[in-house]
Structure 1
Amino acid sequence: MTAVDPISASSGGSSIYATDNTLGTPKQTMDADLFMKLLVTQLQNQDPSSPMDTNQMISQTTQLSMMQSLATLNSTNTESFALAMRTNAAALIGQQVSYLDKNGDTQTGKATSVSFSGSVPTVTVGGIDVSLDSISALTLAN
């Protein structure tokens, strides 16, 4: 018979307490990896005389699947929005646009180029770089 150390609650050298020092900063958002770790921990530590309800397990697995689907949908929406901004910015080239300058005055000029280097496309109007979300009007050029 192996004696159990009451301090570390271990026998044979393995502790039931987490000793992993690689955790670092705790996650601020729940992801599939964290969800699965919680589910596995819950299963490992359940009372054998009263196991986890299968309906509850199915519910949690369904929640994991829904969370993964929502994460994928969010990523797709973000990519779609970025593509729409780029398409709309490119469509402004050669058009007469208006925007508010730093002083709050309305400026008008022809859009000559677009840069996609930042998170929001930048349109060059009369030699000045203007953020796409700062453009307030569009006049079709003849």
Structure 2
Amino acid sequence: MSIDVSYLTDRAGATGSTAKTASNELDRQAFLNLFVAQLKYQDPSSPMDTSQMMAQTTQLSTMESLEELTSTARESFALQMRMSASELVGKQVSWTDEDGTTQHGTVSGVSYSGAVPIVLVGEEQISLNSVSFVATPGGPSELPADDSSDS
């Protein structure tokens, strides 16, 4: 199972994320421009109802709060992935390679250079979302020693 983590890439370095950020800014700016235009061109004999004005202001505030909450949730998920990857060091893992063969080995390190942490098993670099099984060495569910291939 693969997890979509494309939103975790650096916003300045990834065109997909940059476009999304620009779109969010455009939405916020467009909302403000429309609101100001509405106030500017309103009929002086029948001005905008203050409850409508408050409702629109509240909508803008809510939208900004939701954007901040989404950003915080993404950062939290990225941190959880990093913590999970670091906890795999010294544990046995299984994954399926490009040939469809299930491989086993002991994690010796973790790389955080990409959006998804990479666990190091011998010379192999396995994406965290490719790990299908984890066992503690010496534990009751440890992989058999003859099946282990610390690549």
TM-score (norm 2): 0.72
Report the Cα offset of residue 32 of structure 1. 3.3
The superposition leaves residues 56-93 of structure 1 with CA deviations (integer Å, 9 ceiling, x where unpaired) of 11110110111111011001000000000000000001
Mean CA deviation greater in 112-121 or 41-50? 41-50
Q: C-alpha distance in 2, partners of 1:69/1:28?
A: 16
* Structure 1 CA distance for aligned equivalents of residues 45 and 77 of structure 2: 52
Q: Which residue is equivalent to 1:76? A: 72
Q: Aligned ranges for residues 1-142 of structure 1 at < 5 Å?
A: 28-29=23-24, 31-142=27-138
Q: Contact 1:94–1:110 at 8 Å: present in 2 too? A: yes
Question: Which digits, 9 at most, give the CA deviation of each residue in 1:71-130, with x for residues without a partner?
Answer: 110010000000000000000011000001001111000111101110000001121000
2: CA distance, partners of 1:31 / 1:91: 40
> What SS does structure 1 have at the residue aligned with 2:72?
helix
The gaps in structure 1 that reach 5 residues or longer are: 1-26
| C-alpha distance in 2 between matches for 1:54 and 1:89 | 53
Rounded to whole Å, the distance in 1 between the matches of 2:23 and 2:71 is: 18
Unaligned residue ranges in structure 2 (runs of 5+): 1-21, 139-151
Higher helix share: 2
Q: Give RMSD over aligned pairs.
A: 1.3
Separation of aligned partners in 1, 2:23 and 2:43: 30
